[in-house]
Structure 1
Amino acid sequence: MFNRNRISVAVATTLALSCNSAALISIPAMAQETAKEEAAVEKIAITGSRIRNPDLISNSPMLTIDSAELNSRSDITLDTYLNTLPQVNPAGTTTSNNPGNGGQSNINLRGLGSNRNLVLVDGRRVMVSASDMTVDLNTIPAALIESIEVITGGAGAAYGADAVSGAVNLKLKDDFEGFDFRLNHSNHIEERDAEEYSFTGVLGANFEDDKGNAVIAFDYSKREGLIKSQRAFSANATSTTSFFPEGRYFSAGNHPTQAAVDAVFAGYGVAAGAVPANGSIMGFNDDGTMFSAGVFNSPLDVQNWRYPVDLSVNGPLFPDVYSYNFDAVNILVLPLERKTFSTKFDYAISDSAEIFASASWTNYQSETALAPTPFPTVQIQGLDGTVPTRATSALVENGSTVANQLIIPVTNPFIPDDFRTILNSRSGDNPSLVGSGADEPFLMRQRSLWGGLRGSQRDNTVVQYMMGLRGELSDSWSYEVYAMQGKTNIKQTQTGNLDTQRIQNLLEAADGGNSICEGGYNPFGRLSVSDQCVSYITVDATLAREFNQRIIQGYVTGDLVELPAGYMSVVVGVESRKFDYELDPGSLSGPISGFNTQNPAAGENEFNDVFLEAFIPLVDDASFAESVDLNLGYRTSKSKFTDIAKEIEGDEDRNNAFKAELSWNIGDGLPRVRASYQRAVRAPNFTELFDGGGSAPQYFDPCSQGTTFRDQNGAAGAALCSATGVGSPDTYVQTPGTQASINTSGNVDLRPETADTFTLGLVQTFDNGLALSLDYYSIDVKDAIINPNVNLIIADCYNYYGNNSNLSADYASCQYIVRGGGDIFFLADPNTSDGNIPGINSGFIKTSGLDFQAGMRFDTDVLGGAYIKMDLYVNYLLEYETQELDFLPSIDYADTVAYFGAGLGQSFPEWKANLNTLVTFGDFDIALKGRFIDGMQNRLAVEMPGETRPSGTGTTMYWDTSVTYNMSENHSLRLGVNNLFDKEPELYAPNVQSGTDPSLYDVIGRRITLSANLKF
């Protein structure tokens, strides 16, 4: 006969470690009061399975955080705490400015991307907030959260075929009665900035003889923004820019004479030869004179600079070389204001049926800001051009384009006399421009200080509501059915955009544009621009996005048949999901410099799933095992997408996910063995199918003097550099932190990804309050959809992988590289009309590692009888290997830190660990939390093998502490300090932003926190 008591004991002990870190508190009590716990255990549900059965305990690595732990740091957003967990790679956060995440908060399990894991509430999908189908954690009613379960072994068969890396299940308060009010506040101790505070309240009551329960909750949170100049480590940019506010002259194809340049600069007291005529490094002072920006790491320093050397100048590089310091005005931590209202309701309409419902409304506002717009960031094309995102000019030969440069005629009335002397010495010809010699137009680029910051204000409103019915069909069978509807509206207001065509109109006008707007436009220096001209040039825009989601699901579960070892339980269910979105770009179209222009978009997709799950007890009370249990799952999903805007209807597709989980409880004090194998299938999302995207990552230039490539390849290497656009390879030195743009486009021919996950672990508990677990995991994603990596294409061109041994400029990867003045401007696909690189199922991602957890609970005689609770969570990363394209090598990114443009969540320390200690005595709780992040090498070290220039990071240890005074059972006050020793973030270059990775490291510094909790 099935031994219910024995299984109850197993649940009460083993589940304490494998499923719930908070439950470890009760381990000693469980060992001492077994009989009491046996009677109390009811059927439970474990994230990763829908079978409700005390026989089933977690067979995949899982971690649970209760509400007390979640609130222990006084964080106002969920991602701030979740990103500290070893299983999570910090990715898109509410603090991300550049790369930005629109103020949204995502979670990224195992570094596979936030679009490869699911976010659930009470085991159900919730409303998404982006076309990549990710859930914004800001939209979850935080005040109602009771605990968060993180399962990282895959959960595709149970919750959706796209749960590649796992699921995060936020469990809300159930049958809550009373009133719970919480206040959180934090502030930097020394600077008194980066202030955060939140107010949450939950009110609940039972009614009609406890047949029903209703809960309402509210949450108000606010965060003060932080500018990069408010922290010394981020005040100066670690990358450079070729867009000067003073204007920069490019002499490509038609250089002035060295004699003319020497003569002009001699008038400033500059030695002959100190400013090369063909170097494209000359800019303009406001008094009509010229300066030289210098050349990094060479004898050619900055010459005749006549502006203040303030934060607008990249101080660490000056006067070796001049670059505009765009970071000083950028945002380090985004401002945020959030309001949420939510409610839950359930009512037993009979002894065997209950209706349940929930609704929530969230509105939050966030803001990102970048330095004033560099322009132009679009191509200038001859008047026969028809591409709306390019500016046109009569100064460009028909059929030709000029990349990212202004075209200025020599008739422009604002040309300074000294510069005209230099221009008049030209005798060459740029074939892309009309004319030749001294009469040919010239090229410039600039940055619009007069246009203000590139600001983006987002107003997000998310509404979702759900209603369902659940109940008992018999003593052993139950059912649940529910429907959910959600809507996300995002209004984005952009400022600081420039109409490139209008700038070109002003520059080409005979009077410099004075007849178009007051004063016209003078690009030669940091000169003022009239309000009328600013109004003429700048383009403010409002974009609107709307997402709708509908989910209907129903399933039955129960004991199907009694086997020799116990009851076989099953789940059979169906699910329908429909999602649609619409993007209205408003006025943001045409040749805009600033934010990327977008076209109207609209699409929908639909999934119809059938899922099955079976729990099969194989062995009960045998000589070799107390129990052996098997859990099987299967999901088949039929999907179809439609691009409404482009009138493209995709083919109907069917994908299958499955799982097999095994639990072997050996007994006799030996560990329980758990293992699982799961298959997940992720269909491409709307971003990948239709939208694409862009980035401007920092890159490493093999053509720079002193690189291994140049040293080992001599004249042949110099010849390849010259053939790929380096004008003077013998003297070319890359300025630190230069960036190369890359744009991707959607591809409706993308296929689904498939992922195989395997886990194997041991779980052991002891009567003395110690609990241990060790799990191995391996996730292998095939046919992965990966954004192209700029540095891999560059490395392949210059033969770092052995594919271009002849050092030929005709090699395919070299055709992508577009240079100007030596530097790489952007990478473009020569096989597409717009140069965008279409997404493809290009390779694989494979990651594996070890998770270790340890928990200890014990009473001591210290401090008159203290209770001590200790938890240790450790992750060791064995590999994170990817292959983007079949002709590129696979690269293991374990032990590497991300650089700018590599993608959020792409830092992979080998070791991550959390240690939480709580000492309780009398009315006081003293907590100490430690977080360890291993040191890493820069990922360029594995992408450009043999190069030694990139720097990495050292090991980091953060400590948080707090003291809680429990004034009564229902009233408490907590005072804490986060980042107790004011540990600064690890700095490295190239980097993500601000000289560091702000998702991984603490960029604010030591903060004092205050929390108050009142319950009635």
Structure 2
Amino acid sequence: MKQFIKSALLTNGAAASAIAIATMGLFTSFQAVAQDTVQSDAAEGETATIIVTGSRIARPDLTSNSPISIISADTIKLSGATSVEDVLRDIPQAVPGIGGQTNNGNEGAATIDLRNLEEKRTLVLIDGKRFVPYNNDGIVDVNMIPAALIKRVDVVTGGASAVYGSDAVAGVVNFILDDEFKGFKADAQYGITSRGDARTFDASLTYGTSFNEGRGHIVVNGGYTTTAALSQGRRSFSEFALGQADLQPSGSLTDTPGNISDSFPTICSQADIDDGNCFAQFRPNGDLGPVVGSFNFNPYNLFQAPQERYQAHALLKYEFSDSARFFGRVSYVDTQVKTILAPSGTFFFPFTVNLDNPFLSDQARTILSPLDTDNDGNVDIAFGRRTTELGTRDSIYRNKALQFVGGLRGDITDSLNYEVFAQYGQVKRRQQYLNDIDFAKTQQGLLVRNVGGVPTCIDPSNGCVPVNLFGAGNLTPEAGQFIRLDLEAVDKTTQFVAGASLAGDMFTLPTASSAAGFAVGAEYRREKTVSRPDANLVAGNSPGFGSQSPIDAKYTVKELFAEIRVPLLEDMPFAQALTFEGGLRYSKYSSDVTNLVTGGTFANSFTNWTFKAGGEWEPTQGLRVRGLYQRAVRAPNLAELGEPRTSSTGDLESDPCAGSNPVGNAALTQLCLDTGVPAGRIGTVNGPIAGQINNYIGGNPVLTPEKSDTFSIGLVLAPRQLPGFTASIDYFDIKVKNAITQFSEQVIIDACYEQEQDPNGFFCQLISRNPLNGSLSGGTETGVDASTLNAASLKRTGIDIAAAYQFKIGEDARLQFGINATRAIKSVDQPAAIFPSYDCVGLVGKTCLRPQPKWQFVQNTQLDYGPVSLLLRWRYIGKLTKDDIVLNGADPADFVVPVIGARSYFDLSGTVRVAERFQLRGGINNLFDKKPPVVGNDYGGTIENSGNTFPATYDPLGRSFFIGASVTF
């Protein structure tokens, strides 16, 4: 028995620790409250010691001081999930992060966002070890994790840096792989919607065997997954871009005919001129007239990004002796994800056009002539013309990830064990951006004169072809090919981690029968990223894709940690158990950043302490109270440290200098002039176009770690009077201080014009207006600087509730019920100390971008009858109200949908064992074909909102079916 317990303890290792699922393994995301004993291959009556995620100390029970949600392998199969993203998206402890349903902003990855604290504050592990991030943000693409090898997923919410180090602010997601699989298994699954689209296919082969008389064991797995694209034009509710104020078809003013933004008294009404909403549109003959319609970009965009993924993994264990057991893993993943956006365009970048251009009509020359203020025969125009002739803007992301993990575990004495390990991982990432336009060549091709009756470029270099963007249908294939621009960026991110730990028993108090446990250790980690975009991306020569900056940054961290668990009282009146646990970690960081543009270098270093303290009290059998306080940190990632200032696009609801806002307000008028509005343009400045403006993003090499404090207290019930029933309720409170943030563009604008009111103030200095018309849209010289800095404070509080009950109904049947729910109480953000804080629980809109309802739960009902299992899953998303948080934003009356009602989705699935080695499964997700709420395309941010809804939160695909089969030998 003693030897078996040692073996079980070292199977996944102290660092890999995870709660095993006993009799409730088919429930999705229930809290870890089970008290059942896990049976093993040992002699009857012998049991294995179970280890808990969130601690490096071996535990002889199934309890945890941290609330833990568990997803089993059987649940993953029953849900029809073909990727890890599908598994985690619905758990109530998370809000949907970036993934396959995200169109604009999807970087070809799937992420996890626990507690709505952003993906970078969730730590992702495989068997207790870090997985290599896919980019310089330090975020893991969870679709690189082999779903076919997952034994279970443990989700620990709240700070866990004392145990696992940096990034575990919102929590930890630990994927436990099946390293003991034996035999051969072939699995395949196919999925399709009721409308015959959004197809998915997944296949995998797994082989596991022992060797050398059972001393060694190896598991190898290979998999292939493909997902078909689904455009928003395939669904009636998203066929047209709808306005938020009236749900009527709207769209972008960067349209195919070409629009000019300025003051044209012969075209626009005085009211439009006063409001800064004056645009003139080209006709096919080169004339200018009023704008007719707008560009409907929705049909081009996606609800499901196409993906192709190849995976290969190998797990190896070998027991040399009790004192030396080798463990290792090799993972290789090759993914390609394609996102599609509407065709590119000039997006109101500033262009110069000569008035004697033969493509302009006499009428257009007359209208544009007043803009030639210096009488040189040229005019500068803010021009928006969609280049549909070039096709859609396609982004192709190719990620190749490779990771090696290896180490030794063993016993030093009967009560002392060790682990040493090292791991190396890298992700090579190729990003291709297709079918944009070359800003410089477009400008060159717009300067045209008649030479012998033939339109000819004034500057004939580069094989210039005259470009006629003045009216639909006027861009020739030759001119289109001349201005077409494809771009590329190549990144490489590497990670090396090494560590050693010692764990075991210490003393036993006279008031307890169990020994105190401890774990101590040291870790070293080095992360490095090199990003090399091509010259056009660096220069910002691409209006449709913006720009990227080259990065060369690295940091190292050296850490010491210790953890202790002391049973204080056991088997006493009102104290079946009273236990204390604590932990401490010291970290020293060093970073180096090289600016690949200027060649300059910068080094920084900092230290921090993290800790935890808490305990559990079991006054009587079946009732347990647990509580924990944890200090966690997140060190700045490589992008936050090393990314140079880069031109991009951001969101803005309103601009105080736009339209008639400053007219009659002398102070505001002067401030607008002092911050870049040209003289004479007061009252005619254009506001944000489709809710977007230019911005700048970038890193900051002097950033310091952000700190968080997590407090949780809970109650766990497992009454003997009701066998098969367990329940838990936990309150959590997470506060993040000194948070690394990028101020939203609206926050910066508000701070300048409402609070500082000083053109030399910090926030006003972050604003660069278009020199032509004073707007915040234009070329790379225009925008709001939203680079990173330590400034924000975040607070999340709520209650997690979980319950499970199972019982037999007859000799061969069993019925199980389970629920996992979260009641969010507060989700408070404060961008900086000078700003008021705001609470986004139950709200969504221009300030609260990611929907977070007050209530969210997943409820499962499962019937097992002989070889058949049926599962009915109920996914509930509580109602959301349009936020009334006014950061100089729109009045709530501007939104025609003030309340998004609660949504319930039902999924029905089942498995049947046809023969001893053959199993079929199938299911219907979104059984009743529930459509997502339609709120308009401008409701919320441009990443979370797409297709007039929130496709990551709600189901945009509709009813879908899947069927799969497994064969084992």
TM-score by length of 1: 0.83
1:584 aligns with 2:528: no
Sequence identity percentage: 28
Question: In structure 1, how many angstroms separate the alpha carbons of the residues matched to 2:637 and 2:620?
Answer: 46
Shift of 1:705: 11
Question: In structure 2, how many angstroms separate the alpha carbons of the residues matched to 1:38 and 1:153?
Answer: 38
Structure 1 residues 554 and 441, CA gap change in structure 2 (3 angstroms): closer
Cα deviation, 1:286-325, whole Å, max 9, x if unaligned, reads 13443311xxxxxxxx4xxxxxxxxxxxxxxxxxxx2211
Question: In structure 2, how many angstroms separate the alpha carbons of the residues matched to 1:649 and 1:728?
Answer: 42
| Residue 737 (structure 2) aligns with | 782
Question: 3-state DSSP class of the match of 1:662?
Answer: strand
Question: In structure 2, how many angstroms separate the alpha carbons of the residues matched to 1:605 and 1:971?
Answer: 50
Contact 1:182 1:1012 in 2 (8 A): yes
Residues 68-87 of structure 1: pairs in structure 2 closer than 5 A: 68-87=74-93
| Residue 183 (structure 2) aligns with | 178
1:701 aligns with 2:654: yes
Q: Which one of the candidate residues 953, 962, 967 is aligned to 1:1009?
A: 962
Q: Which one of the candidate residues 809, 824, 835 is aligned to 1:860?
A: 809
Structure 1 residues 474 and 976, CA gap change in structure 2 (3 angstroms): same
Q: Which one of the candidate residues 631, 636, 650 is aligned to 1:679?
A: 631
Shift of 1:697: 4.2
Shift of 1:639: 1.0
Question: 3-state DSSP class of the match of 2:357?
Answer: coil
Question: In structure 2, how many angstroms separate the alpha carbons of the residues matched to 1:836 and 1:558?
Answer: 52
| Residue 896 (structure 1) aligns with | 843
| Residue 339 (structure 2) aligns with | 368
Contact 2:29 2:71 in 1 (8 A): no
Structure 1 residues 781 and 674, CA gap change in structure 2 (3 angstroms): same
| Residue 286 (structure 1) aligns with | 284
Question: In structure 2, how many angstroms separate the alpha carbons of the residues matched to 1:573 and 1:480?
Answer: 9
Q: Which moved more, 1:613-622 or 1:11-20?
A: 11-20
1:131 aligns with 2:132: no
Contact 1:697 1:902 in 2 (8 A): no
Contact 2:505 2:518 in 1 (8 A): yes
Shift of 1:835: 5.8
Question: In structure 1, how many angstroms separate the alpha carbons of the residues matched to 2:797 and 2:319?
Answer: 46
| Residue 435 (structure 1) aligns with | 375
Q: Which one of the candidate residues 939, 949, 964 is aligned to 1:996?
A: 949
Contact 1:871 1:916 in 2 (8 A): yes
Question: 3-state DSSP class of the match of 1:89?
Answer: strand
Shift of 1:594: 2.2
Shift of 1:249: 2.2
| Residue 14 (structure 2) aligns with | none
Question: 3-state DSSP class of the match of 2:180?
Answer: coil
Structure 1 residues 274 and 632, CA gap change in structure 2 (3 angstroms): closer
Question: 3-state DSSP class of the match of 1:534?
Answer: helix
Question: In structure 2, how many angstroms separate the alpha carbons of the residues matched to 1:694 and 1:849?
Answer: 38
Shift of 1:93: 1.1
Contact 1:47 1:149 in 2 (8 A): yes
Residues 888-967 of structure 1: pairs in structure 2 closer than 5 A: 888-897=835-844, 899=846, 906-939=850-883, 941=885, 943=887, 947-950=892-895, 951=897, 952-967=899-914
Question: 3-state DSSP class of the match of 2:912?
Answer: strand
Shift of 1:923: 2.9
Going by fraction, where is strand more abundant, 1 or 2?
Answer: 2
| Residue 550 (structure 1) aligns with | 496
Q: Which moved more, 1:715-724 or 1:649-658?
A: 715-724
Shift of 1:256: 5.3
Shift of 1:135: 1.0
Q: Which one of the candidate residues 750, 753, 762 is aligned to 2:706?
A: 753
Cα deviation, 1:471-519, whole Å, max 9, x if unaligned, reads 1111111111111111111111221232211211222243454556575
One-letter amino acid of the structure 1 residue matched with residue 162 of structure 2: A
Task: Specify every segment of 5 or more residues in structure 1 that has no aligned partner in the other structure, as ranges.
Answer: 263-271, 294-301, 303-321, 378-403
Q: Which one of the candidate residues 53, 62, 68 is aligned to 2:68?
A: 62
Question: 3-state DSSP class of the match of 2:100?
Answer: coil
1:663 aligns with 2:616: yes
1:499 aligns with 2:451: no
Q: Which one of the candidate residues 847, 869, 876 is aligned to 2:796?
A: 847
Q: Which one of the candidate residues 306, 316, 326 is aligned to 1:345?
A: 316
Q: Which one of the candidate residues 403, 406, 416 is aligned to 2:361?
A: 416
Contact 1:789 1:902 in 2 (8 A): no
1:559 aligns with 2:537: no
Shift of 1:833: 11
Question: In structure 1, how many angstroms separate the alpha carbons of the residues matched to 2:44 and 2:731?
Answer: 31
Shift of 1:595: 1.4
Question: 3-state DSSP class of the match of 2:102?
Answer: coil
One-letter amino acid of the structure 2 residue matched with residue 684 of structure 1: P
TM-score by length of 2: 0.87
Shift of 1:346: 0.8
Q: Which one of the candidate residues 825, 848, 860 is aligned to 2:776?
A: 825
Structure 1 residues 635 and 527, CA gap change in structure 2 (3 angstroms): same
1:636 aligns with 2:586: yes
Structure 1 residues 55 and 772, CA gap change in structure 2 (3 angstroms): closer
One-letter amino acid of the structure 1 residue matched with residue 441 of structure 2: R
Shift of 1:536: 2.6
Residues 383-782 of structure 1: pairs in structure 2 closer than 5 A: 404-424=349-369, 426=370, 430=373, 434-435=374-375, 440=379, 442-511=381-450, 512-514=455-457, 515=460, 517=463, 520-564=466-510, 565=512, 566-588=514-536, 589-590=538-539, 591-644=541-594, 645=596, 646-667=599-620, 669=622, 671-691=623-643, 696-701=649-654, 737-767=690-720, 768=722, 769-782=724-737
Shift of 1:592: 2.7
Question: In structure 2, how many angstroms separate the alpha carbons of the residues matched to 1:499 and 1:39?
Answer: 73
Question: In structure 2, how many angstroms separate the alpha carbons of the residues matched to 1:547 and 1:735?
Answer: 36
Cα deviation, 1:550-603, whole Å, max 9, x if unaligned, reads 111111111122222231111111111111111121343433322122233212
Contact 2:521 2:561 in 1 (8 A): yes
Question: In structure 2, how many angstroms separate the alpha carbons of the residues matched to 1:665 and 1:152?
Answer: 22
Question: In structure 1, how many angstroms separate the alpha carbons of the residues matched to 2:479 and 2:111?
Answer: 41
Cα deviation, 1:386-434, whole Å, max 9, x if unaligned, reads xxxxxxxxxxxxxxxxxx221112121211132123235x3x765xxx4
Question: In structure 2, how many angstroms separate the alpha carbons of the residues matched to 1:776 and 1:476?
Answer: 35
Structure 1 residues 182 and 693, CA gap change in structure 2 (3 angstroms): farther
Question: In structure 2, how many angstroms separate the alpha carbons of the residues matched to 1:28 and 1:836?
Answer: 51
Question: In structure 1, how many angstroms separate the alpha carbons of the residues matched to 2:37 and 2:386?
Answer: 69
One-letter amino acid of the structure 2 residue matched with residue 550 of structure 1: F
One-letter amino acid of the structure 1 residue matched with residue 894 of structure 2: R
Q: Which moved more, 1:284-293 or 1:656-665?
A: 284-293
Cα deviation, 1:230-257, whole Å, max 9, x if unaligned, reads 1122222246433222111233xxx555
Task: Specify every segment of 5 or more residues in structure 2 that has no aligned partner in the other structure, as ranges.
Answer: 9-16, 244-250
Structure 1 residues 22 and 111, CA gap change in structure 2 (3 angstroms): closer
Cα deviation, 1:599-657, whole Å, max 9, x if unaligned, reads 33212111111111111111112223111111111111111111134442423321111
Shift of 1:1013: 1.8
- What's the RMSD between the two structures over aligned residues? 3.7
Contact 2:823 2:855 in 1 (8 A): yes
| Residue 201 (structure 2) aligns with | 197
One-letter amino acid of the structure 2 residue matched with residue 744 of structure 1: I
Structure 1 residues 984 and 521, CA gap change in structure 2 (3 angstroms): same
Question: 3-state DSSP class of the match of 2:114?
Answer: coil
Structure 1 residues 33 and 150, CA gap change in structure 2 (3 angstroms): closer
Shift of 1:53: 2.5
Shift of 1:887: 1.4
Contact 2:350 2:380 in 1 (8 A): no
Shift of 1:43: 2.2
Question: In structure 1, how many angstroms separate the alpha carbons of the residues matched to 2:930 and 2:201?
Answer: 22
Question: 3-state DSSP class of the match of 2:86?
Answer: helix
| Residue 830 (structure 2) aligns with | 883
